[in-house]
């Protein structure tokens, strides 16, 4: 019997593109950029809570939020399969540690008047992603892409000199998230967004508890002491938008894009994660493949 090698037709509606860009992906990207852009306002509204307490509660309430999501979507069976995979669990633990450093640095910068330097870090991050792809994954860029990378590097150098000192916050943010994405590439599409976030926050939960104990013994915890609205905001930090990876420029149809640009979705909020999943499926249908050049233009 002869078996056709052609893939079975999909019933999914074709993605709409404008100038080679997924229209839905563009909307998701704009939404994610907007959410991430206003996030510093959210953290500032949590005063007098300090950055260490915010991140610790954020980890714990994220874990609760993810557990509820898995229960509502009845995804416990798929999650249990991932938990039994030792390689996946350990990889997610290392990824969780890196993103914890990223979160803590970002919140610290936000609450200490260094939002501009934090923004510089996320401007540097795509360059780090591209260089990691070229150096570690042995991927190649064409001449046009190298020109784009070169212009970006020059821009970063100019901004850094204009800043007047070593932008350590920007560098920590850029490299922690870049290496985080590289590590997440090890698990690839095996781990969905919500399951990935659940595993990472589960690893970080003990560290968050220790951090809360330390804050309680030094400056004191603020949860429940600054009014009901403040408490609601602090609890909601667990579900607050955290999808910066989804807030990358829209993926071009048929272009090469970074695997870790899309896989790193799992350490962001589930609402944004769902947007990433939808965007990613549209990208695949439109012919986008996973590779590195996406530090320049990954969308999911």
- The pLDDT confidence band at residue 106, using thresholds 50, 70 and 90, is very high
Q: In whole angstroms, what is the distance from residue 238 CA to residue 216 CA?
A: 20
User: Residue for token digits 């000199």?
Assistant: 161
State how far Cα 130 lies from the chain centre: 16
Q: In whole angstroms, what is the distance from residue 189 CA to residue 168 CA?
A: 32
- The pLDDT confidence band at residue 16, using thresholds 50, 70 and 90, is low
- Domain extent listing, the chain: 21-295
Tell me the per-residue pLDDT of 193-238, one tens digit each, with 9 for 90 and over.
888 889 999 999 999 999 999 999 999 999 988 889 999 999 988 8
Q: Which helix (H) or strand (E) holds 102?
A: helix 86-111
290 in Cβ contact with 262 (< 8 Å): yes
Q: Which residues 6+ apart lie within 8 Å of 147 measured at CB? A: none
Q: In whole angstroms, what is the distance from residue 191 CA to residue 185 CA?
A: 10
Q: Is the model more confident about 267 or about 201?
A: 201
Q: Is the model more confident about 23 or about 213?
A: 213
Counting beta carbons within 10 angstroms of the beta carbon of residue 162, is it exposed (0 to 12), middle (13 to 18) or buried (19 or more)? Answer: exposed
Q: Per the omega criterion (within 30 degrees of 0), is the bond before 115 cis?
A: no
pTM of the predicted model, to two decimals?
A: 0.72
Which tokens go with 201?
């926050």
Crossing angle, helix 270-285 and helix 51-72, to 10 degrees? Answer: 60
């Amino acid at each position: 019997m002869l078996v056709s090698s052609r893939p079975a037709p999909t019933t999914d509606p074709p993605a709409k593109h404008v100038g080679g860009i997924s229209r839905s992906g563009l909307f998701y990207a704009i939404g994610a950029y907007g959410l991430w852009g206003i996030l510093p306002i959210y953290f500032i509204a949590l005063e007098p809570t300090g950055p260490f307490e915010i991140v610790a509660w954020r980890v714990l309430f994220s874990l609760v939020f993810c557990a509820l999501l898995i229960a509502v979507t009845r995804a416990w069976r798929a999650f249990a399969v991932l938990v039994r995979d030792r390689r996946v669990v350990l990889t997610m633990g290392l990824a969780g540690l890196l993103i914890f450093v990223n979160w803590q640095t970002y919140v610290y910068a936000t609450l200490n008047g260094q939002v501009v330097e934090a923004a510089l870090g996320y401007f540097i991050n795509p360059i780090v992603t591209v260089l990691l792809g070229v150096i570690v994954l042995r991927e190649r860029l064409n001449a046009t892409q190298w020109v784009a990378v070169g212009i970006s590097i020059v821009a970063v150098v100019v901004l850094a000199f204009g800043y007047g000192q070593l932008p350590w916050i920007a560098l920590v943010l850029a490299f922690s998230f870049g290496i985080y994405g590289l590590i997440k590439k090890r698990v690839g599409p095996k781990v969905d967004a919500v399951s990935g976030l659940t595993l990472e926050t589960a690893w970080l939960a003990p560290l968050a508890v220790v951090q809360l104990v330390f804050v309680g013994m030094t400056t004191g915890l603020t949860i429940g002491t600054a009014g009901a609205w403040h408490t609601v905001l602090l609890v909601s930090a667990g579900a607050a938008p955290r999808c910066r990876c989804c807030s990358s420029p829209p993926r071009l149809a048929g272009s090469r894009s970074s695997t870790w640009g899309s896989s790193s979705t799992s350490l962001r909020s589930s609402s944004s994660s769902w947007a990433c999943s939808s965007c990613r499926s549209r990208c695949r249908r439109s012919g986008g493949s996973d590779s590195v050049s996406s530090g320049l233009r990954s969308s999911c």
